[in-house]
Each structure stands twice: as structure tokens, then as C-alpha cells.
Amino acid sequence: MTNGTIGVGVIGVHPERGWAMTAHIPAIRLHPDYALVALTSSDVQTARQAASKCNVPYGFQSHLDLVKIPEIDLVVVTVKAPQHFELVSAALKGGSIANLPTRATRAS
């Protein structure tokens, strides 16, 4: 991204619920070095609604469209774990850093 900010794309956003909307996006907005650039959802209308609600320029159905945006430097993946490999691989191939939410586990 330009002017020293890190352009962020978030994969897996719903405009009314979910971790992306309730935790990730508010945290991204609070950080002065991050600029929220694009969002995705499995449904194009949902993606566009989320983008509109967040005042973000891009809302896509496909993560492949998100990773093509030149302003994207960091991709936050907020979908369920079975999809992580495909989404993170696409982000890395697109030249972005990928971030996954992690769950703390306890050894038995």
C-alpha cells in the first residue's frame, strides 16, 4: 500500500456477525499502520454489504479477486480451518502475508 500503511484484506466476512466483523475488523481499524482495503464472503451480495457497511472499496465473492488487488499487503483468513491451506496459499502466491486466527491448545 502507499504512504506507509499496510493494506489489509479479510477473507470470510459477514456484515452482521462472525469473528471478522466483531473482532478482526475493529482491531484492524484501531491500528494506525493498517488500512482495510477489501473483504470477501462466499456470497457476493454479502461481501458487498459488508464492504459497504465497513466503508471498504472492494467486496468480493472470491479470495482470488482479493489477492489480485495491488494494495493488499496482508490477508486475514477468518474462515473455518479446512479452507485455510487453499486461502493462505493463494495469498502467498499473490505476494501477501497471510494471518490466521489461532486457537490455544493444551497438551493432555
- Per-residue pLDDT tens listing for the chain (108 residues): 557 888 999 988 888 888 888 888 999 999 999 999 999 998 999 999 999 999 999 999 988 898 888 898 888 887 665 565 666 666 656 656 555 454 433 343
Q: Is there a contact between 2 and 72 (Cβ–Cβ < 8 Å)? A: no
Residues contacting 13, CB < 8 A, separation 6+: 20, 21, 25, 39, 40, 41, 46, 47, 50, 54, 78
- At 107 the pLDDT is 42
- At 98 the pLDDT is 52
> Which residue ranges make up each domain of the chain?
6-99
- At 51 the pLDDT is 93
- At 61 the pLDDT is 92
Is domain 6-99 annotated with CATH 1.10.10.10?
Answer: no
